[in-house]
Amino acid sequence: MATSPSTSQAQMCLMCKKNGRDDCSVFCRSCELEYPYCYECGEKERNIPYKLCSDCYSKTRSERRAIKEIKKQPLLSRLDAKKAEYQRAHEIFKSKWVKYLPVPEPEAIFAVSNSKIWESFQKYAKDLKEKDSDATTDYFFHGTTLQCDLLEQNETCDDSNCGICGIVARGFDKSLIGKNIPRFKRYGEAFYLAPNSSKCHDYTQGKEDIGMRAQLLCLVACGTKFETTKDHTRLMKAPEKCDSVYGNSGGTLNYEEVAIYESRAILPEFVIVYSKNGVHKIAK
């Protein structure tokens, strides 16, 4: 059977436009040997026969090594209070608690190690950086349900109503928005996080017989923010040329929050377990 023109064109070498492409390449075998530039950055000369320049090869090797190390770790690792990682998360949690004083002391802080979520986040953050060199990542909190005794079991549970364990195991899922903690969707269908741990306290909920709440401290790639003091309840994605919506205090908000429309933009790094105000959701 003859190959359709569109199919044959799609499989044609991008350089000579005559020969068929080699396996896993956009060039034919002859042109691939002649193409001088790195397949990753497209700027520096590659080390033929390899497809990458020295810098990109080192970078990808470092990423592979990091992924390998993350895969060795359990999803949750309880941190020693004397360790720098614990103290960093502890300081962010306490310094960002601005209402409902006094500040609660964490009962435990767990590090999250999920290689699949980490890889997805790294790629998304890199893409944003290429689009906008000023794009940064920042820490935000997320409050949800805790339906298990993390202090006792030190690992995730399988309860579908446990928002903390679900996010640690599978990341943020758009199909589950509002399932465990219903809330006013000020900026439409999005994941809501906040720079203040005390604001996210309003959206935590524990289990009566355990008496603990928990928050996630996440690294978030916000990209280009659409900043506002007004409600935009009909949004299904960020406004044009923006990647997120940032609600500034004033107007309809007392405390800032960010709406994220891509699950890949959020990397859960820590689970902070604490006790305050019982176990029921405070936000109405």
- 10-residue stretch averages of pLDDT, the chain, 284 residues long: 48 73 66 66 63 66 64 87 97 97 97 94 94 91 97 94 96 91 91 98 95 98 96 95 96 94 98 95 78
Residue 166 included in any domain: yes
Q: Of 41, 65, 89, which residue is a domain's last?
A: 65
Q: How many CB atoms lie within 10 A of CB 155?
A: 15
Residues 31 and 160 in one domain: no
Residues 16 and 110 in one domain: no
Helix residue ranges per DSSP H, the chain: 5-10, 29-34, 54-72, 84-95, 115-131, 150-153, 163-170, 197-201
Query: What was the pLDDT predicted at 18?
Result: 74
Residue 217 included in any domain: yes
Residues 52 and 98 in one domain: no
CA distance 125 to 238: 16
Query: What was the pLDDT predicted at 7?
Result: 43
Residue 53 included in any domain: yes
Residue 54 included in any domain: yes
Report whether 196 contacts 267 (CB < 8 A): no
Amino acid at 116: K
Residue 284 included in any domain: no
**Residue numbers of the domain that contains 10:** 5-65
Residues 238 and 147 in one domain: yes
Residues 56 and 88 in one domain: no
Residues 55 and 175 in one domain: no
Residues 93 and 47 in one domain: no
Q: Of 18, 47, 65, which residue is a domain's last?
A: 65
If one counts the domains in the chain, the total is 2
Amino acid at 137: T
